[in-house]
Amino acid sequence: MFSLLIGLLFRCGPPLEEATKPPAGGAAETEGEFQENREAMVREQIAGRGVRDRRTLEAMRSVPRHLFVPEAWRHYAYADTPLPIGHGQTISQPYIVAFMTEALDLKRTDRVLEIGTGSGYQAAVLAQICSEVYSIEIIEPLASEAAARLKQLGYTRVHLRAGDGYRGWPEAAPFDAIIVTAAPDAIPVVLLEQLAVGGRMVVPVGRGEQVLVRIRRTKEGYKRENLLPVRFVPMVREEARVP
Ligand code: SAH
């Protein structure tokens, strides 16, 4: 089981050479076909690999992933792979989105912070479950595309900001859950401080070899668990982007 997961999760980062050609998968044309593919995705790739949380499964069944990927890749939106979304970034493999969502242990009333909006897909999945979602994206055009897409699809409880998510969103803190979808070298202390007592954070940590870490904040401090080996795009810092 563990080696199966390693095999799968090494595909959650950028598709690299895969990005030049469409992955194998059933090509869909109509809304009905997209929905069928989405249900098969949840059954085979997500529930089939052990994700059990009912709200996560429902959210993955309802968010139209094909509307979060560029038109050219739409037919492969429900394939078991990350896909390019422009600017050298990717929408994560469906399984990793579901795995991280389940690992956050969410309640309806939770307020969640996401770092790395990308396409806005993970934010939409979270908004399907929780009361408020705050999401930060450092690449401005991705942030504005995601904002337009989420607005058009009616996700009014997602609040977006363009900027460096390493500093979190202090005005809206504390959060019941924080999900980081780009990998920092080490867990950002500012984000730990923005976690409520009882809150959970899921973050891929490291360069090259990365591990998905879950932190729980308790009254006494922080508890860390290593969940899985993963590969995400690196978290970039605003300073590094200034010439
Ligand atoms: N969650 C996204 C996929 C994330 S890809 C989705 O559902 O589509 C990782 C994203 O993190 C990229 O869009 C990248 O630009 C962004 N990112 C990287 N470093 C960041 C930072 N410091 N702050 C905010 N976003 C960052």
Percent of the chain with pLDDT over 90: 84
Q: Quote the pLDDT of residue 19.
A: 41
Q: Quote the pLDDT of residue 15.
A: 42
Cα(219) to ligand 1 centroid in Å equals: 30
Q: Quote the pLDDT of residue 28.
A: 73
Q: In which band, very low, low, confident or very high, does the pLDDT at 39 lie, cut at 50, 70 and 90?
A: very high
Cα(37) to ligand 1 centroid in Å equals: 26
Q: 48 phi and psi, to 5 degrees?
A: -60, -25
Cα(26) to ligand 1 centroid in Å equals: 28
Total tally of structural domains belonging to the chain? 1
Q: What is the mean pLDDT of residues 19-29?
A: 54
Q: What is the pLDDT of residues 80-91, one digit of tens each?
A: 999 999 999 999
For strands 89-91 and 83-86, give the pairing: antiparallel
Are 61 and 49 contacting, i.e. CB atoms less than 8 angstroms apart?
no
**What's the pTM?**
0.90
Q: Quote the pLDDT of residue 208.
A: 84
Are 141 and 120 contacting, i.e. CB atoms less than 8 angstroms apart?
no
Are 75 and 87 contacting, i.e. CB atoms less than 8 angstroms apart?
no
Q: In which band, very low, low, confident or very high, does the pLDDT at 55 lie, cut at 50, 70 and 90?
A: very high
Question: From residue 60, how far is each of 20, 45, 69, 194 by CA, in Å?
Answer: 27, 11, 15, 27
Are 121 and 179 contacting, i.e. CB atoms less than 8 angstroms apart?
no
Cis check: omega of the bond before 70, within 30 degrees of 0: no
More confident residue, 240 or 110: 110
Cα(118) to ligand 1 centroid in Å equals: 5
Strand partners, 91: 83
Q: What is the pLDDT of residues 194-242, one digit of tens each?
A: 999 999 999 999 998 899 999 999 999 999 999 999 999 999 988 755 5
Residue 117: which CATH number?
A: 3.40.50.150
Q: What is the pLDDT of residues 121-133, one digit of tens each?
A: 999 999 999 999 9
Q: What is the mean pLDDT of residues 18-41?
A: 74
Q: What is the pLDDT of residues 167-189, one digit of tens each?
A: 999 999 999 999 999 999 999 99
- Distance linking the first and last C-alpha atoms of the chain: 46
Strand partners, 135: 114, 160
Mutational pocket test of ligand 1: of 185, 235, 239, the residue with most ligand atoms within 8 Å of the beta carbon: 235
Mean pLDDT across the chain, nearest whole number? Answer: 90
Q: Quote the pLDDT of residue 238.
A: 83
Residue tagged active-site, from 62, 92, 119, 131: 92
Percent of the chain with pLDDT over 70: 87
Rg (CA), the chain: 17
Q: Which atom of ligand 1 is nearest to the CA of 146?
A: 8
Angle between the N-to-C axes of helices 54-62 and 31-40, in degrees from 0 to 180, rounded to the nearest 10: 150
Are 178 and 100 contacting, i.e. CB atoms less than 8 angstroms apart?
no
Query: Does residue 3 carry a catalytic annotation?
Result: no
Q: Which residues line ligand 1 (CB under 6 A)?
A: 89-92, 115-116, 118-119, 121-122, 136-139, 142, 164-166, 181-182, 233, 235-237
Q: Which atom of ligand 1 is nearest to the CA of 136?
A: 24
Q: Quote the pLDDT of residue 129.
A: 98
Taking the C-alpha atoms of residue 112 and residue 14, their distance in angstroms, rounded to an integer, is 25
Q: What range defines the domain where residue 30 resides?
A: 2-241
SS (H, E, C) 129-179: HCCEEEEEECCHHHHHHHHHHHHHCCCCCEEEEECCHHHCCHHHCCEEEEE
Are 11 and 23 contacting, i.e. CB atoms less than 8 angstroms apart?
no
Q: In which band, very low, low, confident or very high, does the pLDDT at 16 lie, cut at 50, 70 and 90?
A: very low
One DSSP character per residue, 63-89 reads S-GGGGS-GGGGGGTTSSS-EEEETTE
Look at residue 11 and tell me whether its pLDDT is greater than 60: no
Q: What is the mean pLDDT of residues 84-102?
A: 97
Taking the C-alpha atoms of residue 72 and residue 150, their distance in angstroms, rounded to an integer, is 20
Cα(220) to ligand 1 centroid in Å equals: 31
Q: What is the mean pLDDT of residues 112-120?
A: 98
Are 147 and 155 contacting, i.e. CB atoms less than 8 angstroms apart?
no
Mutational pocket test of ligand 1: of 92, 181, 194, the residue with most ligand atoms within 8 Å of the beta carbon: 181
